[in-house]
Amino acid sequence: MIKGRLRYIAREDRFFVIDDKNNDYCALHCGNVLEIYVYGQWRKTSIEGWGPPGIEAWYLVGTRFQGRSMQGLPARIGF
DSSP string computed for 3-33: EEEEEEEGGGTEEEEE-TTSS-EEE--TT-E
The parent domain of residue 20 ranges over 2-77
Q: Domain containing 70 — which CATH number? A: 2.40.10.390
Tally of domains in the chain:
1
Model pLDDT, residue 44? 98
Q: Output the pTM of the full model.
A: 0.92
pLDDT grade, residue 35 (50/70/90)? very high
Instruction: Report which of 57, 58, 56, 54 is spatially closest to residue 32, judged by C-alpha positions.
Output: 58
Q: How many CB atoms lie within 10 A of CB 37?
A: 14
pLDDT grade, residue 21 (50/70/90)? confident
pLDDT above 80 (res 62):
yes
Rounded (10°) CA dihedral 28, 31, 34, 35: 130
